[in-house]
Amino acid sequence: MVDAPLALLAELTHRCPLRCPYCSNPMELARAAAELTTAEWARVFEEAAALGCLQVHLSGGEPTARRDIVEITAAARAAGLYTNLITAGVLLDAGLMERLVAAGLDHVQLSVQDADEAGAERIGGLKGAHAAKARAAALVRAAGLPLTLNAVVHRQNLHNLSALVERALEWGAARLEVAHVQYYGWALANRDALLPTRAQLDDATRVVEAARAAHKGRLVIDYVVPDYHATRPKACMGGWGRRFLGVSPAGNILPCHAAESLTGLTFPNARETSLAAAWADSPAFNAFRGTAWMPEPCRGCERREVDWGGCRCQAFALTGDVAATDPACSLSPHHGLLQAAVEHAGGEAFRYRQYGRAR
């Protein structure tokens, strides 16, 4: 029997005014006409709560690009879910903030691309975005909501990591997520420009450890390291289909937010299947649960129920085999792919994510 998922990631839309080169959305983006309606999302939230989810992350793309974001937030709150808005902040104004709070919003997670305006606007591809984020942070704090800053870090902004910590303090965040890029989808297409050196990673780790000590009790810092310098894989999302449940803008029910990058799996859709049925009975959700699916060396490894074979999306992206041992593991026959990528990385040019097309 599989335990209930703890949280639901509701990807409300793929639309976003930013064009971040590490975007976790699929390479093929869902159009607005395909998105779940307000009423459909309300039903999804009720099913999530009945299944045992405690919180919902309202995400995208940019969730505030939905004209019904207030109604969606209210529906999530009515279902009894703790509501977290994951936003770039560039569309958030005082009026919308007030309506979201009245609708029952509990928390805001604000993305930042860099500590300074020039770097942030080059990475995000939108002029004026950095100043808009500062205003959004002030609105969140003025509304009395807790604020988390999410800083995706990589080769081209790690030199500003100390400044990103200061920015989190300046903007009144209680938590900072320092998340190294994970390489699939758009990030894989931009890997050479994003992948840090080992020296950069070591410096970043020292900065995080020092900041944790210096700001203990004031700022919590979460730290996600890149797999490309690892010798053991992470338990991606706590293990496939074990803790995480996502719903895409078009209603596909997913065990991982990047799962649509995998070929050969058919995911149930919320317009046709309940979340409970998808979670318990879907062949896609059950494909990589437990250990029976594992090849060697995973099957005989003492860590098989610790890392659960690592990331399926990363394994597929690098080897073409969704059931392969994650190359992040030093025991994987494909581990050399990561070292080769580190050695090859360099350059500054991005291939930008853009709604409707890529360039």
Q: Report the alpha-carbon distance of residue 215 to residue 164 in Å, rounded.
A: 13
User: In terms of pLDDT, which residue wins out, 313 or 356?
Assistant: 313
C-alpha–C-alpha distance, residues 147 and 108, integer Å: 5
Rounded CA-CA distance 201/155 in Å is 9
**Cβ atoms within 10 Å, residue 125:** 17
CA distance 300 to 288: 16
Q: Write out pLDDT tens, residues 333-345.
A: 999 999 999 999 9
Cite the annotated binding site by residue number.
Answer: 16, 20, 23
Task: Give 238 or 51, the one with higher predicted confidence.
Answer: 51
What distance in Å separates the CA atoms of residue 205 and residue 210, rounded to the nearest whole number?
A: 9
Distance CA 140, CA 107 (A): 9
Closest CA to 253 of 221, 230, 285, 205: 285
Closest CA to 315 of 182, 155, 153: 182
In the annotated binding site for [4Fe-4S] cluster, the residues are 16, 20, 23
Return mean pLDDT, the chain. 93
What is the model's pLDDT at position 357?
42
40-68: average pLDDT: 97
Q: pLDDT value at position 327?
A: 94
Residue 236 confidence (pLDDT): 80
For 14, the token pair is 């793929």
Q: Which pLDDT does position 358 carry in this prediction? A: 35
- Predicted pLDDT of residue 27: 66
Q: Is the pLDDT of residue 356 over 70?
A: no
| Tens-place pLDDT, residues 117-137 | 999 999 999 999 999 999 999
Tell the residue number behind the tokens 């808009």, with chain if given. Answer: 132
Which domains are present in the chain?
1-358 (3.20.20.70)
Mean pLDDT (whole number) for 195-212: 96
**What was the pLDDT predicted at 355?**
53
The token pair that represents 65 in the structure block: 């690009």
% the chain with pLDDT above 70: 97
Cis before 309 (ω within 30):
no
pLDDT of residue 359: 33
Summarize pLDDT for 83-118 with one digit per residue, the tens: 999 999 999 999 999 999 999 999 999 999 999 999
Angle subtended by helix axes 69-78 and 38-51, to nearest 10: 30
pTM score of the predicted model: 0.94
Cis peptide before 297 (omega within 30 of 0): yes
Over residues 217-225, mean pLDDT: 95
Provide φ and ψ at 11, rounded to 5°.
-85, 95
Q: What is the mean pLDDT of residues 130-156?
A: 97
185: left (phi over 0), alpha (psi -120 to 50) or beta: left
Ranking 77-91, 215-229, 234-248 by mean pLDDT, the lowest is 234-248
pLDDT at position 1: 63
pLDDT of residue 253: 98
